[in-house]
Chains A and B, each alone.
Chain A
Amino acid sequence: MRKNEFEFCSNVERPDPRLGELGRRDFLFRFGKGLGSMALTSLLHTDGWLQANGIQGDPLAPKVPHFPAKAKSCIFLFMSGAPGQMDTFDPKPKLAELHGKPIVRKYGSLEKRIYVASPFKFARHGKCGMEISEIFPHLATCADDIAVVRAMHTSSEAHTTATFFMNTGAAIPGSPSMGAWAAYGLGTENGNLPAFVVLPDIRGGVFGGAINWASGYLPAYYQGTLFNSVGDPIVDLQPPAGVTPERQQKNISLLNELNEPYLDAQPRNPHLLARMKNYELAFRMQTAVPDSLDMSKEPESIRELYGLNNKMTEPMGKRCLMARRLVERGVRFVQIYCQGWDSHENIAGEHKKRGLETDKPIAGLLKDLKQRGLLDETLVAWGGEFGRTADNTMDFFRTGPGRDHNKDAMVVWLAGAGIKGGTVVGETDELGIKCVENVYHTHDLHATMLHLMGLDHLRLTYYHSGRFKRLTNIAGGLIKEVLV
């Protein structure tokens, strides 16, 4: 198949004249076409998923990746609000010299702004000597496991659109999130759990809400499932109080008995059997989901490792431990949100506090994954929606200076499967305002993450609105330096 990097709207592989291998199946689902048809039945058989769980038409059954995957699962730690790169992984000593001095500018607003040095000390850590801010003392002990991308930039400077961009590769709503793409491309290893789980920060909503884990133009079953922090993890996972499991089971068996004769009425309708199976699956999920989130059986050492014994670290620690338990059980993509990085003022206090809350849990997650041998098959990513500026306005006298939004430089790190630990990629200018060397865009991050999961971002397409669309739109390349 001809491929060229410039022909942007047709840069897809089409095994079938019209649809990608996955797209074709979904196309049929979407249009309610008979899965009972000969061609499709054989297609499904070759996938081996009919045998896998006996559910006819399960689009979330495990699928063969484009090439052998390094990572089976991915945990994306989303630092919502955007951490400052010069306060975390990209030290800028030059800023200390300029601290408090007004910025010089040739044009633009007359608003008075001054340079702001990072209030945090950096030190070299690990064999690689990676420079990490003092707000991450625990993570610093994992320096040799993580690869920091310093020269990363993105396409939007407003929280919501940038958050959409980080999650869906587009600044406007309507595109599938990365987790949905992963679920679409790979299915899930555990049919009793959702393929893509979102663990929100209990403190509040994510910028833009559910669009960030939506399935966009992909079919709805690829959307992320948000696990509530209170009550049922999933809405209506459990029947109303008073309905015992025995009663539920009795009801399901009568339902399936009554459903059976109807199968004959529509021999060409694959959904009838799928629905019957779903009731049994839902019943199993009623136990499987709470079980996957039940941390009471974790030993004390693990609780300590994730910081569950400390009020400050407990919320994030819980989410990190849940994430481990979920990927352990075969969930494909877990996204953890951590709010509160948007420090327009008092970066010294706020970033420090975020460090105190997240450092131990995240380091605990990396160490725990490693000791279980899971880090070799799990990709862990950390980052916010954009970076922050080197300067600030003057109206912070009450609380101390902070930083504003900056889309031209930001920092992310990756760890785990297929990642060359101890690497630092790219350079920003001496003030950390703009990327200057080995520059990568968030599209490249997406391409790299899919790559590690065994998916070629150019081939993972879905036919929608007249063309084959993909996570990386018309861009994206691999961040080769971080790959083993």
Chain B
Amino acid sequence: MKIKIVWNAMAVIAGVFTMLVRLPAAGSRVDFKKDIQPIFESNCIGCHAVQMPEGGLVMESLDSLLKGGKKQGPAIVPGSGQKSPLVRSLTGEIQPRMPLGSQPLPKKEIALIAKWIDELSQPESGTSAKETARQSGPVHRFDTEIKPILEQNCLSCHNAEKGKGGLVVQDIDSLLRGGAHDGPSVVAGQSEKSPLVQRLRGVKEPRMPMNGKPLSEEQIERIAKWINEMEPPAGVGAVASAKKPAWPWAPVTEVAIPQVKRQDWVRNPIDAFVLAQQEHKQLQPAPSASKRSLLRRLYFDLVGLPPTPEDMERFLRDDSPDAYGREVEKLLADPRYGERWGRHWLDLVRYSDTRGGAIDYPRPHMWRYRDYVIRAFNQDRPYDRFVKEQIAGDAFRAYGDEGKIGLGFLGQWVAVEAEGEQVRRDYVVDVVNTTGSVFLGLTLGCAGCHNHKYDPIPTKDYYRIEAFFSPMTVDLQDVAFHQYEMPRLQPEQWKKAAKDWEQVLAERKKLAAEFEEKIKKQKTEHYMLWAPQDLKDWSDSGQRKLPFPADTLLTQQDKDRRKLINRQTARFANPNSPDYYLPKAYVVSDSELQNTVATYVLTGGNYKLRSEEVKPGFLSAISSDPEGPSLDGLVGSRRQLLANWIASRDNPLTARVMVNRIWQYHLGEGLVATPSDFGKNGAGTVHQELIDWMAWRFMESGWSLKEIHRLILNSNVYQQSMKHPKAKEQELVDSDNRYLWVRDPVRLEVESIRDSVLAVSGQLNPLMGGPPFFPEADDEQMERGSTWWEPSSRTQQNRRTVYMLQIRSFQLPMVKVFDGANMDESCVVRGVTSVTPQVFALFNSKFSHDQSREMANRLIAEVGHSPERQIERAFQLAFQRPPTAVEKEKSLAYLSRNPSRPPVELSLKETPYAQASDAQAAHGQASGSVGALADFCLILLNMNEFIFLE
């Protein structure tokens, strides 16, 4: 784990008094909780946490500090700060100086720690009751009375080395933490509920000590008495600790904007937050990228397409100071923004047009949810409302049909064949886990089987959340098309398409029937002995005659024909099938019996092992309402309560998680690099304040995504170059660029790559919305994926990739190899890989060759036959810049060695469904037509500059 934030240390240096560092007034006593623990949490806990502490030293509590580490023994010597190894490590007296690999702590903080240790021997007046109790009461008695018993009987297995069952019994902390089976071993104040006592008494099997003599009743009684006298911790839930909630569990509050030395670099507060950290680390931000790079960045980032050469020229000529800002506004208002940013959301919700699993049935109406997402982004729909619609759109009447379509979120689960109740179980688990990860950034799923190992989420909480979903079912309902859904595509057109398709289908079916009749006739005429001779039939009397296997009777031609007929008459395999055009949507509603539906905690997540019943309730670590909301007299849905809670300003996670996602999609990596795991085991962040500040602004702006876009895009952090003059030195300090002193490389996502190829070739069809288009795919590959479809017409196929049919069991090779979203679970980060099959997809595929040819035709149409002008225009189209002298020279040499021939008009027949054979014929014919120029275009489309942003 990285060294966590060094923010407070830096603030001291800067001489700023912030809310995080509270130096006690002179003369007052130092308080561990208030004064010391925050310092440790910021600087030390990253390595010295309970999980895998470095050097065995845990710095989470006074007890653990007194216990100390392997090397130096106890970290503090009560009464003497100067003698304590802790202080000596911080000053550098003991090497290595702590914190390792980070700036030393400010002297003031070290002095404060020393003072605290100096005061330790005297009773603390300012500490909490619990702290006192732990030091004078049970701790003392534990050491003198209890520990010897445990050491003698339990420690041989439950020591720090072996830790059987994850349980260590060395100190109170470890008992409170407990093991993997029972959770905490000791429930303070309640010996009868403490697994330690239960196991010792044999109430819980297996009795402890395992394979040993039971403890005497007197010994057990002594342990029980000690537990009973322990003060129960404040708060609810078995795991919730008495500590104040740590980030990100604490409420979002407004954070002060830090002061920095280089004020001139600060364009908006984002820069201040980032620069303050860099200054503390003695890092310098990179210079701004070139104007050309910036516009390209903006276009790909906001609309997922390159600017046109004319866009670029206009922008480069515009010298006004707000030229960049105006481009930001223009692109935020561009409807293509929704197509680009909606796709990010579709990644998260594992959007697919099919159900998944073996048979992978279509969900032919799912595209309405896809369009809903695109629409919501374009309208900058307040995020709280967006959340509510997707969890309980049916219950919020005011949202109308739009809310119902939003429920497609709950209909995205992956349907795997399973038996009986397991089917329902799989569904609910999928919904709960995805809700947890998408909206709350939590690995909630872990708590389905056991208390969360790292975050304060007991199993009970998981089922309390599940209880909100318990009465829910998804079904296909009639939801009329609205004008706002279809700004460009009229349902009337679909009606015609559907009607055309019915006609084609009828014709095909007729042919199919004739064909089958022929086969049937042949079949009845042929018989043979089926089983091999040496196998005597033992189950029947006499020999059997079986039909001659049809496949040996048919010619290859017949077989192909039959296959095609079967496919062409299949119900969903055609983009023109009326099923895709019906006014229906996947809507969730609650069972009428919703008040009687019970939810149980399931042991190990197994539906056969029901444990206690639970009522709907929120996460105990966040909610102040341990009982959960009352369902008495509830009108509407339980989900409405959950939606309100998630979309509330009081929920500490919702806004933080979302601003981090926005950041991630802009800069390539989230401030928390594990965007759906804000928990302790996630990647963590050094930018907590920045996240908090943006989260606050996000909510203050009425949950406006575009507001956050504006802030990020207009910041200097965003506009930094990918080159840094001092890169070598700064990498020594921060090789992973956690402090954002340079922009990380950006590889276009597969949607942008494919869309850009189409845009540059001039073939992009900008039609928005409506049923998905079916791409051309390799026949055999489709069959292996147990699926098949007929490709859409060429103009349909030239639409943006977000409208491509999304099939769980079969991803188009190009999408797959360029790290397309995995649709089986929430895809939180797209991979960035460079693998050889990408060459096949972008350099060898029919798609690329087709588009290069189209681009060559476009060049000839636009600038004629002069190679020089063709090269210049090609570079402008692809990269919005003229070729360099060297590039031009090389390109000219290439084209002159391989002269181009006059173009041949591509005479592709435009039908509602593309005929693969037509396309292939045209392809073969045209491959030599524009010859070298097409190849040259193909080369440009494969250049690094085409898929990596500068």
Contact = CB atoms under 8 A, between A and B. Distances in A.
Interface string A190-217: 0000000000100011111111000011
B440 to A, nearest CB: 12
Contacts of A303: none
B443 interface: yes
A158 interface: yes
A8 interface: yes
A286 to B, nearest CB: 8
Interface stretch (A254-262, A317-325, A430-438, A443-451): A254-262
B527 interface: no
B731 interface: yes
A173 B179 contact: no
B163 interface: yes
A40 B737 CA distance: 13
A63 interface: no
Contacts of A216: 822
B943 A282 contact: no
Interface of A: 1-2, 4, 6-10, 14, 17-18, 28-34, 36-40, 57, 59, 119, 157-161, 171-174, 200, 204-211, 216-217, 219-221, 223, 225-226, 228-231, 234-243, 247, 250-251, 254-255, 257-259, 261-263, 265-269, 271-272, 274-276, 278-279, 281-282, 285, 348-349, 352-353, 356, 396-397, 399-401, 465-467
A282 B839 contact: yes
B28 interface: no
Given A400-B539, A467-B443, A9 B745 contact: no
B435 interface: no
Contact of A272 (B723, B727, B808, B948): B948
B202 interface: no
B744 A34 contact: yes
A473 to B, nearest CB: 11
Nearest to A210: B785
Contacts of A173: 356-357, 414, 416, 808, 824
Contacts of B540: 397, 400
Interface in B898-950: 898, 923-924, 927-928, 935-936, 938-940, 942-945, 948, 950
A278 B818 CA distance: 14
Nearest to A37: B735
A48 B568 CA distance: 53
B446 A352 contact: no
A411 to B, nearest CB: 22
Contacts of A263: 944
A238 B780 CA distance: 16
Interface stretch (B10-18, B106-114, B828-836): B828-836
B831 A30 contact: yes
A466 B682 contact: yes
Interface string B867-890: 000000000000000001011001
Nearest to B813: A235
A239 B849 CA distance: 9
B784 A200 contact: yes
B747 interface: yes
Given A7-B166, A236-B845, A278 B834 contact: yes
Pick the most buried of B161, B166, B811: most chain A CB atoms within 10 A of its CB.
Answer: B166
Given A7-B166, A239-B843, A33 B736 contact: yes
B679 interface: yes
Contact of B744 (A161, A268, A275, A397): A268
B890 A161 contact: no
Considering the complex of A and B, which 6 residue pairs feature the smallest CB-CB distances, nearest first? Answer: A466-B443, A160-B358, A7-B166, A282-B839, A37-B735, A269-B745
Interface in B771-790: 778, 780-781, 783-787
A261 B832 CA distance: 22
Contacts of A281: 836, 839
Contact of A259 (B414, B537, B944): B944
Contact of B163 (A7, A247, A279, A356): A7
B722 A265 contact: yes
Given A4-B164, A268-B745, A38 B453 contact: no
Contacts of B164: 4, 6
A32 B786 contact: no
B831 A219 contact: yes
Interface string B793-837: 000000000000000111101001101001011000101111111
Contacts of A208: 357-358, 809
B538 interface: yes
Contact of A266 (B834, B841, B950): B950
B180 interface: yes
B844 interface: yes
B950 A172 contact: no
Given A31-B668, A209-B784, A265-B945, 10 more contacts: A14-B52, A39-B735, A160-B358, A173-B414, A205-B783, A240-B849, A266-B723, A278-B839, A281-B839, A282-B844
B838 A34 contact: no
A254 B163 contact: no
Contacts of A219: 819, 831, 833
B836 A2 contact: no
Nearest to B446: A466
Contact of B722 (A160, A231, A240, A266): A266
B927 A243 contact: yes
B632 interface: no
Contact of A466 (B679, B727, B787, B836): B679
B679 A33 contact: no
B389 interface: no
Given A242-B927, A282-B840, A467-B443, A18 B358 contact: no
Pick the most buried of A209, A237, A261: most chain B CB atoms within 10 A of its CB.
Answer: A209
Given A40-B735, A465-B443, A258 B668 contact: no
A465 B511 CA distance: 52
B220 interface: no
Contacts of B811: 210
B205 interface: no
A238 to B, nearest CB: 7
Contact of A34 (B179, B531, B735, B824): B735
B1 interface: yes
A271 B532 contact: no
Contacts of B231: none
Given A37-B731, A251-B938, A285-B836, A349 B531 contact: yes
A306 to B, nearest CB: 21
Given A9-B446, A266-B722, A266-B745, A258 B165 contact: no
B26 interface: no
B839 to A, nearest CB: 4
B417 interface: yes
A275 to B, nearest CB: 5
Interface string B649-673: 0000000000000000000110001
Given A229-B780, A261-B884, A266-B723, A172 B414 contact: yes
B259 to A, nearest CB: 30
Contacts of A59: 833
B160 interface: yes
Nearest to B293: A265
B419 interface: yes
B939 A242 contact: no
A248 to B, nearest CB: 8
A239 to B, nearest CB: 4
A157 B923 CA distance: 47
A352 B822 contact: no
A268 B886 contact: no
Given A6-B164, A17-B47, A220 B356 contact: no
A269 to B, nearest CB: 4
Contacts of B537: 348, 400
B535 interface: yes
Nearest to A468: B681
B166 A271 contact: no
Nearest to A240: B849
Contacts of A33: 669, 736-737, 744
